[in-house]
Amino acid sequence: MITVQGLSGKNVAVLGLGRSGLSAALALVDGGATPICWDDNEAARVAAETHGLTCRDLKKQGAFDDVARLIVSPGIPHLYPAPNPVVSKALAAGVPVDNDIGLFFQSFATSDWNNFDITPQVVAVTGSNGKSTTSALIHHILEHVGRPCQLAGNIGRGVLDIDPPIDGEVVVLELSSYQTELARSLTPDIAVFTNLSPDHLDRHHGMGGYFAAKRRLFSEGGPDRAIVGVDEDEGRFLAGQLSEGPTDDRVMRISVEEKLTGPGWQVFARKGFLSEYRKGRQAASIDLRSVAGLPGAHNHQNACAAYAACRALGLAPKVIEAAFHTFGGLPHRSQTIAEAQGVRYVNDSKATNVDSAAKALQAFKRIRWICGGLQKEGGLEGLNAVSGEVLKAYVIGREAAQFAMQLDAETQVCTTMAEAVAAAIADAEAGDVVLLAPAAASFDQYDSFERRGEDFAAQVVARLSD
């Protein structure tokens, strides 16, 4: 556990008692603070009380008397589409609002570091798509070379649940916009911005607010090294804001859409090859086409980001290349579930928006596409533009018929995963890929994208074993 520093002897309110809220409350106790906890869910309050935590309704009058800070869990809105009533009360009382990420950066460094030969470092990864794979890949590469490391944040463990770092350790954090937008302290050593596409627009009041939430990771603490995807206008703008000029190699630009060969430090992938250029000269090249765990251009972008981060940490290109080939990928992200009779079954349940699903469609040939669910804002036009390899779409979800009507590809309304998998298997021929890439949230039928992906995998295994 990371012990919270700087709040000893103070009352700290904690709103939301899920994974991050509960770990924050316990870390506050460990640091000598007194957490005052609340969750509208009674079961969550009971669970907190079993840990010896005090729960008190933070909506009541006077709840923020003598409170030093309010810690808010990521899923609770603090501004848009409307502030949570508890957050409003805290702000009205002049109480600072923070989250577990802010507590982590406030508390990460300790006096024990004075005895270390190599100062621990934090690599923080954000972006719309690919941040989980990029974070896991960086962590995998570090493990491959025997470097002490931990993976946390929006993936793996909660940031305050990790072990205090040892000499030379690297902590890799995946951070969502919900986490970066509120943290009062954001001081990574290396910050990574993968890409930006529309998502969570109601929470951030549009694309401008969404980008601003991501940008805070770079603007609040000023990382020593910034790795920025420049395939969108926002990424190019961010890189320009952070850089002092074309030769400033503190900003590493990455791309999968263009060759980057300026005088700075750049990493790009084209036609399956990753290239590193520095000071106008090629420093390394890696053939990504045979890396089974990183299929498609979107994963090549993840490879560029992870490669750049590891180069910034001082790792050699050949070492990184070797680690790429032992990376198995993440569950629910271009994950091969099975191969039978020449047909490959791929679970990309994490493709919850149009952009991520479009990238999945571009990664494979001869696709039998299982899609649908709780549709997000913006329509499906981006999918139709890249659906040339889709042989047929099998649409699931409560509004499957409406979803199907927006697609140019041949469609079959299946509604359930069981029906979609059965139909796709019946139609599939050798050389086809049965791909789950929903382009929608899961909450109309599942409580998470993980449950949706697990159902797909279970249905595939069951049907193939019949």
Q: Does domain 109-324 have CATH number 3.10.150.10?
A: no
130 annotated as belonging to a binding site for a ligand: yes
pLDDT of residue 334: 87
Q: In what order do the strands lie in the sheet with 34-38?
A: 54-55, 34-38, 11-15, 69-72, 97-98
Every domain range in the chain assigned CATH 3.40.50.720:
11-98
89-107: buried (b, 16+ CB within 10 Å) or exposed (e) per residue?
bbbeeebebbbbbbbbbbb
pLDDT band at 343 (very low <50, low <70, confident <90, very high): very high
How many Å apart are CA 351 and CA 333, to the nearest integer? 7
Every domain range in the chain assigned CATH 3.90.190.20:
335-465
The one-letter amino acid at 2: I
Name the 3-class secondary structure at 414. Answer: strand
Residue 87 contacts residue 59 (beta carbons within 8 Å): no
Residue 45 contacts residue 53 (beta carbons within 8 Å): no
Mean pLDDT of 364-388: 91
Max Cα distance, the chain (Å): 68
pLDDT band at 73 (very low <50, low <70, confident <90, very high): very high
Give yes or no for residue 88 having a pLDDT over 90: yes
Q: What is the DSSP letter of 223?
A: -
Residue 227 contacts residue 302 (beta carbons within 8 Å): no
CATH classification (class only), 335-465: alpha beta
Residue 37 contacts residue 17 (beta carbons within 8 Å): yes
What pLDDT digit, counting tens, does each position of 199-249 carry?
A: 788 899 999 999 999 999 999 888 999 999 999 999 999 999 999 999 999
Q: Does domain 11-98 have CATH number 3.40.50.720?
A: yes
Q: Which two tokens stand for residue 219?
A: 């603007």
133 annotated as belonging to a binding site for a ligand: yes
107 annotated as belonging to a binding site for a ligand: no
How many Å apart are CA 283 and CA 381, to the nearest integer? 39
185 annotated as belonging to a binding site for a ligand: no
Every domain range in the chain assigned CATH 3.40.1190.10:
109-324
127 annotated as belonging to a binding site for a ligand: yes
**Percent above pLDDT 70 for the chain:** 100
How would you classify residue 206: left for phi > 0, otherwise alpha for psi between -120 and 50, otherwise beta? left
41 annotated as belonging to a binding site for a ligand: no
What pLDDT digit, counting tens, does each position of 241-299 carry?
A: 999 999 999 999 999 999 998 899 999 999 999 999 999 999 999 999 989 889 888 89
209 annotated as belonging to a binding site for a ligand: no
pLDDT band at 15 (very low <50, low <70, confident <90, very high): very high
Task: Count the residues in the chain.
Answer: 466
Give yes or no for residue 376 having a pLDDT over 90: no
